[in-house]
Copies of this chain bind each other. A is one copy, B any other.
Amino acid sequence: MKIAIIGGVAGGASAAARARRLSEEAEIVMFERGPDPSFANCGLPYYVGGEIAERGNLLVAPKQMLIDRHRLDVRTRQSVEAIDRQRKRLTVKDLVEGTTYEESYDKLILAPGASPLRPPIPGIDLPGIYTLRDLRDADRLHEVVQGARRAVIVGAGFIGLEMAENLVRRGIETTVVELIDQVLPPWDREMTTPIAEHLIDKGVRLVLSNSAEEFAPILPEGVTVRLKSGEELDADFVVLSVGVRPENSLATAAGLEVGPRGGIRVNEHMQTSDPDIYAVGDAVEVRDFVTGDPTQIPLAGPANRQGRIAADHIFGRPSSYRGTQGTAVVGVFDMTAAMTGLSEKALRRAGRSYEKIYLHPTQHAGYYPGAERMSLKLLFDPEDGRVLGAQAVGHAGVDKRIDVLAMAIQAGMTVFDLEEVELAYAPQFGAAKDPINMAGFIAAGVVRGDCAVVQADELPDAIDRDAAVLLDVREAEELANGQIPGAVNVPLDRLRQALGTFDRNRPFIAYCQLGQRGYLATRILTQAGFDAANLSGGYLTYCQSRGRTLAG
């Protein structure tokens, strides 16, 4: 059995190592265009910023180790130029020698990854415009940041924000330009508000709902970024991080099927339309775990698992890929944003019915020093309560809650299950009612009809006084930080006495700071026969939905 693998990073390296573990006999040839296979892709921004000081640390599985330990035939600086499916032969170009040769295969695994998008903007090919995909890119940026003063990052996704943090770490004045009206496009906008404010706090200039229309050179060195708004930003260099495109040129040239977004089509065993050719990683189209629809989600974890599955299948094992649920986390300075499953906007796009709730728990018991609040959003099926997605933003403990919810989605659990799950509690780590349980309680209350919710984004900016009564149940001293226009303040602990004075013909929307007292108020009102609903996530979510945090 001769296996050829094109691409030696996450998916390709995993496939190669797994194939060797399954067969000592197999001939395994790995082609990697760059000089280094299996480098730590996700560490590159931190190498540029200096947080990862040793370049060598990025070489997760150095070439010699792949040769010695896994007996791989590793061919770096070799580029596969064409696949002849009939003859099962590859045309390979040696990038050092400039020569070309043929190599045969029994099974072929494509793991070419995805390449950074370079939109056709005038000046896009200027020397001061960088992308960050591989070690050579990182080396170049590592050099450029030394002594640079000002940078513009185009695109506020994972890499854009990680680069922003790392450029600030280098003392560089950094502006981030983003096309849409939020940072971290995969998240829902209101959940990114704390991250946006945190970036600003750390000195990053954020330019949202704007885009680069032209790049012009500054002599002797630098780039002027002309924005759609007309503003011009001068920078020593520009980092372009506006997304990636699956590398499908080899696959399409070979006549393999490709999806509408360019991802190579594969079945659950990672086989392309040619059963002797597999494809894995950022280049493939995957099924969304929740909807089952085809999608394109470039993530390192799935790439690794897909590589393993392809190797398994080559050796007759029934492994199959379950789909990608989009579990992701990003550190942005001192904050963390994480998500799993579908976002609200993805649910809307998919036309799937859903309900949502917000909460703002601390990561561990409030009575223990160091408790910090996070914001957590849970998306679920309004009928059966199945968990569809979750997002969290905050500090410590955010990654844990999203991983726990990722498990809930994997297992097809419902919000009723979240009420009952038993998580670890000690004062430093959680709460007797963990944020996950709390999310379950709140969401289950909605599905069961115990507590109707109103969403901040449904709330008009000016409340129609004849329609709903907007009831602020916080204590009087809390109002100084702001209030929703048109609200009437009746502190929760005085609500029962006030009930007699309320107009029974009008619906009530109760709210507090975080959502908890609003819930209690809603229960009191509902039981007293009022038409009442709680503003999910309280005033804090209201503010976040309007693009500001309480600090902001």
Interface positions of A from 425 to 459, Cβ below 8 Å from B = 425-430, 432-434, 437, 450
A424 touches B324 (CB 8 A): no
Interchain CB contact under 8 A, B424 and A327: yes
Q: Which of B23, B289, B413 contacts A411 (CB 8 A)?
A: B413
- Stretch binding the partner chain, chosen from A82-90, A233-241, A244-252, A363-371: A363-371
Known: A23-B527, A417-B410. A403 touches B423 (CB 8 A): yes
A399 to B493, CA, bound (A): 37
**B residues less than 8 Å from A25 (CB atoms):** 527
Establish whether residues A496 and B23, one from each chain, have CB atoms under 8 Å apart when the complex forms: no
- Any chain B CB within 8 A of the CB of A305? yes
**Set of chain B residues within 8 Å of A425, measured between Cβ atoms:** 42, 299-301, 327-329
Question: In the complex, what residues of B have CB within 8 A of residue A330's CB?
Answer: 426
The CA of A450 and the CA of B319, in the complex, are separated in Å by 14
A261-273: CB near B (< 8 Å → 1, else 0) gives 0000000000000
Closest to A162 in B: B426
Contacts of A51 in B (CB 8 A): 368-369
Question: Is A79 at the interface (CB under 8 A from chain B)?
Answer: no
**Residues 269-306 (chain A) with a chain B CB within 8 angstroms:** 289, 299-305
Q: Which residue of B lies closest to A56 (CB)?
A: B367
Residue contacts A-B, CB under 8 angstroms, 29 given: A10-B432, A23-B527, A25-B527, A40-B427, A42-B365, A42-B432, A43-B368, A301-B432, A305-B422, A305-B437, A322-B420, A324-B422, A329-B425, A329-B426, A329-B429, A329-B430, A331-B427, A399-B430, A402-B424, A403-B423, A404-B404, A406-B422, A406-B423, A407-B408, A407-B421, A410-B411, A411-B412, A411-B413, A411-B417
A residues near B (Cβ < 8 Å) are 10, 21, 23-25, 40, 42-43, 46, 51-53, 57-58, 60, 65, 68-69, 71, 158, 289, 299-305, 321-322, 324-331, 336, 338, 340, 365-369, 399-400, 402-404, 406-408, 410-413, 417, 419-430, 432-434, 437, 450, 492-493, 496, 520, 523-524, 527-528
Beyond A24-B523, A301-B423, A331-B426, 12 additional contacts (C-beta under 8 Å) are: A42-B427, A43-B427, A53-B369, A58-B367, A68-B493, A327-B425, A328-B425, A329-B430, A330-B426, A400-B400, A406-B423, A410-B417
